[in-house]
Amino acid sequence: MTDLTNHQIVLRRRPTGLVDPDDVEAIATPAPEPAEGEALVRNTYVGIDAAVRTWLDDKPGYLPPVGIGEVVRAAGVGEVVASRCDAYAVGDVVTTLSAFQEYVIVRDDLFTTVIPGVVDQLAMLSVYGSTGATAYFGMTDIGKPQPGETVVVSAAAGATGSLAGQIAKIAGARVVGIAGGPEKCRVVTEEFGFDACIDHKAGDLEAALREHCPDRVDVYFDNVGGPILDAVLGRLNQGGRIALCGVISSYVTGEHPGPANYVQLLARCGTMQGFNTLNNWGRFEEAFTALKQWEAEGRLVHREHVYDGLDHAVEALNGLFTGTNIGKSVVKVSDPS
């Protein structure tokens, strides 16, 4: 395998705000050789998630920051091209922390999963990878929507939000999305099947929540934080549940102001809980089985925004924070077999 070249995007300095092209560097190195217990994966698609931006800051989290000179970390999908590990055979399609590069070494650990029987590798990122698992665990474990309840999902046109809302619909709830702009709101209702969608850029968010959630909010799946979280807290129902999935409104600044309206949790006997999908590693088969069944039944749809080539990785990442994406943003690294 020594004749393979590994094109990579490495971190050269910590970004301030959006990632500047000079914050990273494109390099080429020989592809690594798998040692005993390892396999070599050729990446086909790399997923773009808001967490990628947080890993570039020098701050502790559930994973350590990307070091200066290291490849930018991201989750992706790829194909095993060489293996010295019993867990993986050549030809297996896996999801893993592939990073912004063409080839990656994987081991038999919680970061790499073989998902058999899925031909559409984009769907593995949109539905069957960490994105789908996040929507599934956050909504079913914390949100626990019931028939007739009102569920609100922020960043509803995004990869996780769009799935979370559809899962709530499958549970029989009435689902209201929050998204930025009329086109995103159109997609949320017409393609993803939400009952309504509020354009948070259009004006009075609190008034829109009163209009679209007359019976208040039983479940809020929060991808945004900030003022939108405060506004939804103001409409929380008795016993309302909030699943804290992300704070995309402040990932770029790194400043995360606490919710000013948290007193509503006391007044409404509500709960607000954060979660980490990796903590549910032992239940991924449960999540994927449910997601696969719902997709096969036509009850779960997904959409991708594909950027062609690693040279578009920074553009794709910044697009999450400038609002250009609908559905799952991915970078195509190579052609699937």
Note the pLDDT tens digit of each residue in 124-181.
888 987 899 999 999 999 999 999 999 999 999 999 999 999 999 999 999 999 999 9
Spatial distance between the Cα atoms of 171 and 149, rounded to a whole number of angstroms: 10
User: So what's the pLDDT on residue 251?
Assistant: 66
Note the pLDDT tens digit of each residue in 229-252.
999 999 999 999 999 998 877 666
Spatial distance between the Cα atoms of 215 and 221, rounded to a whole number of angstroms: 17
The answer on pLDDT for 191 being more than 90 is yes
Provide the Cα torsion 311, 118, 277, 318; round to 10°: 20
CA distance from start to end of the chain: 18
User: So what's the pLDDT on residue 324?
Assistant: 86
CA distances to 37, 95, 135, 315, 328 from 334, in Å: 25, 15, 27, 18, 18
User: So what's the pLDDT on residue 3?
Assistant: 85
User: So what's the pLDDT on residue 250?
Assistant: 65
User: So what's the pLDDT on residue 133?
Assistant: 92
The answer on pLDDT for 41 being more than 70 is yes
Name all domains of the chain by residue range, CATH numbers in brackets.
5-114+303-332 (3.90.180.10), 131-278 (3.40.50.720)
Instruction: Specify the pTM.
Output: 0.90
Using pLDDT thresholds of 50, 70 and 90, give the confidence band for residue 119.
confident
The mean predicted confidence, pLDDT, of the chain is: 93
The answer on pLDDT for 255 being more than 80 is no
